[in-house]
Structure 1
Amino acid sequence: MNPDVEADIKDLSATLGSIEAVMDLDTLRAQVADLEEQAALPDLWNDQEKAQKLTSELSHKQGELRRITNLRGRLEDLGIMYELAEAEDDADSIADADGERAKLREEIASLEVRTLLSGEYDERNALITVRAEAGGIDAADFAEMLLRMYSRWAERHGYGVDVFDTSYAEEAGIKSATFRITAPYAYGTLSVEQGTHRLVRISPFDNQGRRQTSFAGVEVVPVVEQTDHVEIDEKDLRVDVYRSSGPGGQGVNTTDSAVRLTHIPTGIVVSCQNERSQLQNKATAMAVLQAKLLERQRQEDKDKMDALKDSGSSWGNQMRSYVLHPYQMVKDLRTEHEVGNPGAVLDGEIDDFLEAGIRWRKQQQTS
């Protein structure tokens, strides 16, 4: 076998071995066996919420185990592919083996990023809020572009997206939107998106065709679970009900079923209008409020720790630029990762940015 190819395969095997050690395959197999045993119990679905959580966790862990064992098997087969191809001096077979090696390198690198997600809430689903900031109608349009970008990213991976509330701007775009992405490690993965995003383009809303810079903010928090202790005193809440509306102020509901909650001590306001009843909307809005309060507490604790460490750095402000004119580029201002195809990025191709952000964050935490 070519010495360079052999060395590359050994390097991939060593990286995969480190991943296997971090993921602790023996423990993972034991967890899968235990969950399969629980899933087989005849009274499982007596408690539907518990059953759904258990089966979702089982599916996730089975997928993780299958993914890593599949990579190990393919890596072992790769050496045989090269040996056979070189023995037969078959250029096409060598090219196939090269292609498989490139795929394995990409997939192992992606799995390695997953091992960097070890935060307290990283495994959870993500609750994301996108808001238009400076830039008027262009900012509202940009906020809607980001909403679509994250939705398309989730769709590409087969993840669930639930939009809880959308506040439409008068002319075009949105003032804000709050939505949940349901996926393994959604919070840990998407939390690197938090901050201010910047768009530079020729404004489609300017009849003089001038270049416009606009901004949109992205907030990412973990979804609250039953084990979290987030106490909310009813006296600290103001509850407003109103009629749901669509783009341009068009009514989409004939009853006052939408609910807005204001947490008076913190000033946090959340709303929900996607459910059929006022009661359902209030329950969903309460879950969103709890998630935001939990993240606020977590951030306050982090700020205290940072102050003790004398760490004044902050990466959560302006973090990415999307330039559509006079040239085409998307660049992350923290990691320096950039691509020359904004259209693909805005269509949901953000995995490389996510991976670069996760690696960068890990470096910041250990430096």
Structure 2
Amino acid sequence: MATIDFTEEIQNLRTTLGSIEKVTDLDALKAKIADLEQQASAPDLWDDVENAQKVSAALSHSQSELRRIDDLSSRIDDLEVMVELAAEEDDEETAQEAERELSSIHRTLDELEVRTLLSGEYDERNAVVTIRAGAGGVDAADFAEMLLRMYLRWAERHEYATKVMDTSYAEEAGLKSVTFEVSAPYAYGNLSVEGGTHRLVRISPFDNQGRRQTSFAAVEVIPLIESTDSVEIPDNDLKIDVFRSSGPGGQSVNTTDSAVRMTHLPTGTVVSMQDEKSQIQNRAAALRVMQSRLLLLKKAEEAAERKELAGDVKASWGDQMRSYVLNPYQMVKDLRTEHQEGNPSAVFDGEIDELIEAGIRWRVGQQKAEAAEA
């Protein structure tokens, strides 16, 4: 048998699961599922397609969340039986299988535990992510495209729906900027910790002398606005330009003036949208993103005012928060949490869950420290 104290480990698993169940409030979750099932069974549900999709998505997510907790309870029970069999029969193979299952359960519990930390006002929302190439020329544009692929692969691994809403291509390679939506419960809560300045250090593939290049990209994450949010924008505060979509597209995407650029005159906030085929659709999508940005801007201003009154003003946007080093060594390091990954290729392929989880735990720690000082 292995040296692991399975009795203690299993007890710890049950304690952690009990804490998660308490925070999740299983009775409330079951009541929510029952209510959503009733809404989903309404004969006129699909008369309002947008609402029907929201109900269906919310029901699927809630059922999945309850199922994960129930499955974990069963897995812990099964693990206990597996450990007893391994001990009775002195079966090393079964003992090793129990170790692997113990590790897997720990990982799933960690994911659920992190979810309980997402309690912000907009954490449950879909996320709108914008990546902009910064200093570094063509390498920065290429880096922006690498980050886009990283986030899309992360979403794909979790089976989250994504939609690229606007793309501005760089002249030589890569992207000047790109905006995309991630549709999943808690997409904003998870991805919000990705906001900030990302740095890449590598041997530039665009330098014929093979020199090392440092480049930067900025990532902005905002929650997607919902119809129930009250963000009124007077028409005379908006300037709307229409133009022909650029870059690769379908038959009708870049043959008409369907793309929309929306500018909020009081703040200078600009949103471009060209993914949809019609100008009306792009205009509606741009307005939703504009409302989302203005809502977040309002919240940021309120938070800045509170910090100024407390005598502690800190700028978070623009701070370098993560380095991806490909040469002279291989490492991805989050400069806020000190979390490191030794396989940048895996990170760029979407394996960023541990970086995100460390960021969420760090943020909660910061919030608790600020609350204690207040």
**Structure 1 position 364 matched with structure 2 position 366:** yes
Aligned to 2:203: 202
**Which residue of structure 1 aligns with residue 229 of structure 2?**
228
Q: Distance in 2 between matches of 1:185 and 1:83?
A: 38
Aligned residue in 2 for 1:172 = 173
- Report which stretch shifted further, 34-43 or 309-318: 309-318
Show the 5 A alignment for 1:225-264. Answer: 225-246=226-247, 253-264=254-265
Corresponding position of 1:350 = 352
Q: Name whichever of 44-53 and 350-359 sits farther off.
A: 44-53
The 5 Å alignment of 1:290-305 reads: 290-305=291-306
Q: Residue 120 of structure 2 corresponds to which residue in structure 1? A: 119
Give the Cα–Cα distance (whole angstroms) in 1 for the partners of residues 150 and 300 of structure 2: 26
Which stretch of structure 1 is more off in the superposition, 120-129 or 309-318? Answer: 309-318
Residue 156 (structure 2) pairs with residue 155 (structure 1): yes
CA separation of 1:205 and 1:3: change in aligned 2, threshold 3 A: closer
The Cα shift of 1:308 comes to 3.3
- The alignment status of 1:330 with 2:332, answered yes or no, reads yes
Aligned to 2:69: 68
SS of the residue corresponding to residue 335 of structure 1 reads coil
Closer, same or farther: CA 8–147 of 1 in aligned 2, 3 Å? same
Contact 1:143 1:176 in 2 (8 A): yes
SS at match of 2:347: helix
Letter in 2 for 1:334: R
Give the CA deviation at 1:234: 1.1
Q: Is the 8 A contact 1:124 1:186 kept in 2?
A: yes
Residue identity in the other structure for 2:299: R
CA distance in 1, matches of 2:148, 2:222: 16
CA deviation after TM superposition for structure 1 residue 311, in Å? 3.5
Distance (Å, rounded) in 2 between the aligned partners of 1:195 and 1:46: 41
Unmatched 5+ stretches in structure 1? none
Structure 1's 184 and 33: CA in aligned 2 closer, same or farther, altered over 3 A?
same
Q: 8 Å contact 1:195–1:318 — kept in the other structure?
A: yes
Query: Secondary structure of 1:45's partner?
Result: helix
- Structure 1 counterpart of 2:133: 132
SS of aligned partner of 1:228: coil
Task: State which drifts further: 306-315 or 193-202.
Answer: 306-315
Q: The residue matched to 2:311 in structure 1 has which SS?
A: coil
Structure 2 distance, partners of 1:304, 1:78, is: 52
| Secondary structure of 1:127's aligned partner | strand
Aligned residue pair count: 365
Quick check: 308-317 or 183-192, which moved more? 308-317
Deviation at 1:306, TM superposition (A): 2.3
Q: Deviations over 1:165-208 (max 9, x none)?
A: 00111111111001100111000000000000000011111111
CA RMSD between the two structures: 1.6
Structure 1 residue 233, shift from structure 2 partner: 1.1
CA contact (8 A) 1:246 1:252 kept: no
Supply the distance in 1 between the matched residues of 2:315 and 2:151 (Cα, whole angstroms): 23
| Cα separation, 1, equivalents of 2:211 and 2:253 | 36
Map 1:12-27 onto structure 2 (within 5 A).
12-27=13-28
Write the distance in 2 (CA, Å) between the matches of 1:124 and 1:139. 29
Change in Cα spacing, 1:266 to 1:3, as seen in structure 2 (3 Å) is closer
Evaluate the alpha carbon distance shift between residue 104 and residue 3 of structure 1 in structure 2; reply closer, same or farther with a 3 A threshold: closer
Provide structure 2 residue ranges, at least 5 long, that are not aligned to the other structure.
Answer: 370-374
Is 1:36 the counterpart of 2:40? The answer is no
Q: Give the match for residue 55 of structure 1.
A: 56
In structure 2, distance between residues paired with 1:262 and 1:137: 27
Structure 1 residues 143 and 82, CA, compared in 2 at 3 Å: closer, same or farther? same
**Alpha-carbon distance between aligned partners in 2 of 1:42 and 1:252, rounded to the nearest angstrom:** 36
What secondary structure does 2:5 align onto? helix
Instruction: Tell me the TM-score normalised to structure 2 length.
Output: 0.95
